[in-house]
Structure 1
Amino acid sequence: MISVLCLGIATQDHVYGVPGFPTTGEKHRAHSVEIVGGGIAANASVAVARLGGRALLASRLGEDSTGRNIIEALEAEGVDCSLCRRFPGLKSSSSAVLVDGAGERMVINYADPGIPDDPSWLPADLPRGVQSVMADTRWQAGALRMFGAARAAGAFGVLDGDRAPENRELLSAATHLVFAMQAAREMTGHDDALQAIRAFPAPDHVSLAITDGVRGTYLRQGREIIVTPAFPVTAVDTLGAGDVFHGAFAYALAAGMDELQAIRFSSATAAIKCTRFGGRAGAPRLAEVEAFLRERA
């Protein structure tokens, strides 16, 4: 079985559907609401599980009711949470999310500043059978530890760069960097994805891709830049789409796909998710992704 370890943040999201984002300090009405699990690494782990893979999650939570709900929801999806640690007296991460009529989202997240950064309780070696590690930037010390374990085991290490990491060692510790355009702009100062990927300070031995929403994904291979167009869909909710993309990308690499194949597979997985409301609840099954790709062959 394809096995992926996801490491980073897990949250509980309250997702409100609104006609547009509020601009005034008064009461506003939502036309729909969903209470769902969220967080980059957690969403990626659910994407892996729904694609039929063995998904493991390493995350830090508080020993509170929110943390219990987060774990229960993940385990219901088939995610192995044995590497999640809950800390007494601390609060688990939670978010208020607004989704407007165009499917765009606004996220207000709380993360307890007392959550310990020390990753020494994580295993020194990859869990048996894991072929790929996907980490976000929310726990960089943990990501460095498990990327090191991945390299030692000959496995893949995928960094979800939704924002510029403070620890630049991550850029060389991973085998694959997949950055959102906003973070690439922070890293390079360029607003254009083509200019950003050319200027991005990634080592030569690391694969680099930049996702730019409806404009597609840019992949740098040596001096060549390859653009994979996004699949056109009518977006209902983009919440979690990037997380689902990264989980699917780590899964695809572990399944033996090359970078271009993995990007197309991940783009299809994220596109389907965008057509469904409720964050990661819209992550598709493998059969749905395969049918989607066949229809667009």
Structure 2
Amino acid sequence: MTCSRKGCSVFCVGLALQDTILTLDRIPDRAAKVYAKGRREVGGGPAATAAVTVARLGGHASIAARTGEDNIGATIRDEFEAAGVDTAWLRAFPGIRSSGAVVLVDSSGERLIVAYADPELPSAANWLEPEDWGDAVLCDLTWPEGALRGLNAAQAAGIPSVLDADISRHAAGTVAAIVDAAGHVIFSRPGLTQFTGTESIEEGLRIARRPSHIFVGVTDGADGLFWLEDGELRNAPPPSVDVVDTTGAGDAFHGAFALALAHGRPIADAIVFSNTVAALKCTRPGGRAGLPDPAALCDFAPELDLDWLMVGA
């Protein structure tokens, strides 16, 4: 496969929000008043951070998402544009509050996320009609109508599709329809448990896999990616790093995976590449602040063949 334009393109569909990231020694396990050691304001959301990952790695990224026509929505758009992400399909709705989250990050880099989405946010996706969906499509579960539109378009165009299947507040049947429509499904560990009803990774992957799927896997933090291959459970752990902040690591993994598929890379290469991107992201605080560019990847993992990243650049 060769890219259809100068540099490979990934069209991302899903959630864009503003994160308030608070760092503290320990995440409380009961109601309490605690003081944070640091505070950062940064854009977040699975599809959104995946899009920024693609752009940071030298790919062409587009984002389709919904915000309010408010100051937070304007900030979200400004950050995308500063990162080089195409915002032609980022739609701001009047009278709607933009989505946001408070993220607590402890001294080991683990996090607790409390997210908010305006219940009046319009769900329809009939306005999402790009002439070109790029070389791969990535969706999350937060906007079912948008995800199905993107995944079905990818199937019709014969390009790879990637689903970031984290936990969802939507009905089980709605989530199942999105999972069914994707070519490559990568769950989070909580997302796989929610979808399949089992804590077992292997059993969960067997339940989740559909005949139409090309690849089904699950990320499990420091243990990396698990997937089924020839009926056997496989695992690829990430490189060892000093973890500072895991916020956005899964989103970075998905963005890197979709970009590798857009370049026509084999799945085995895409896994190694994505693991490395996600691990390196965790070495710096602030969510997107740690997203690596190709030069940082080469410095961190000189043994990786990354010549393909520069194709068309």
Same fold (TM over 0.5): yes
**In structure 2, do the counterparts of structure 1 residues 224 and 125 end up closer, same or farther at CA, with 3 Å as the change threshold?**
farther
Task: Please show how residues 60-209 of structure 1 align to structure 2 within 5 Å.
Answer: 60-123=66-129, 125-127=131-133, 130-163=134-167, 166=172, 167=174, 168-209=176-217
Out of 54-63 and 192-201, give the one that drifted further.
192-201
Q: Partners in 1 of 2:230 and 2:136 — Cα distance?
A: 23
In structure 2, the residue matched to 1:286 is 294
Q: Partners in 2 of 1:216 and 1:160 — Cα distance?
A: 15
Q: Partners in 2 of 1:205 and 1:108 — Cα distance?
A: 32
Paired amino acid for 1:159: L
SS at 1:82's partner residue? strand
Query: Structure 2 residue aligned with 1:41, among 43, 47, 54?
Result: 47
Q: How many residues align?
A: 295
Aligned-residue sequence identity (percent) comes to 42
CA deviations on 1:158-188 (whole Å, 9 max, x unpaired) are: 0000125632121221110011111111222
Q: Partners in 1 of 2:75 and 2:129 — Cα distance?
A: 25
SS at 1:294's partner residue? coil
TM-score by length of 2: 0.90
**1:229 to 2:237 alignment:** yes
Query: Structure 1 residue aligned with 2:22, among 16, 19, 23?
Result: 16
Unpaired runs of 5+ in structure 2?
Answer: 1-6, 306-313
Shift of 1:139: 0.5
CA contact (8 A) 1:204 1:222 kept: no
Query: Structure 2 residue aligned with 1:54, among 43, 50, 60?
Result: 60
Q: Partners in 1 of 2:181 and 2:132 — Cα distance?
A: 15
Unpaired runs of 5+ in structure 1?
Answer: none
CA deviations on 1:238-272 (whole Å, 9 max, x unpaired) are: 00100011011100111121111111100100000
Q: Partners in 2 of 1:25 and 1:200 — Cα distance?
A: 36
In structure 1, the residue matched to 2:308 is none
TM-score by length of 1: 0.94
CA contact (8 A) 1:126 1:153 kept: no
Q: Partners in 2 of 1:124 and 1:143 — Cα distance?
A: 14
Q: Partners in 1 of 2:39 and 2:231 — Cα distance?
A: 46
Out of 69-78 and 184-193, give the one that drifted further.
184-193
Q: Partners in 1 of 2:243 and 2:90 — Cα distance?
A: 32
CA contact (8 A) 1:7 1:135 kept: yes
Q: Partners in 2 of 1:76 and 1:90 — Cα distance?
A: 24
Q: Partners in 2 of 1:204 and 1:219 — Cα distance?
A: 16
Superposed structure 1 runs of 4+ greater than 6 Å apart? none
SS at 1:169's partner residue? helix
Paired amino acid for 1:141: E
Paired amino acid for 1:281: A
CA contact (8 A) 2:209 2:216 kept: no
Query: Structure 2 residue aligned with 1:275, among 269, 274, 283?
Result: 283
CA contact (8 A) 1:249 1:262 kept: yes
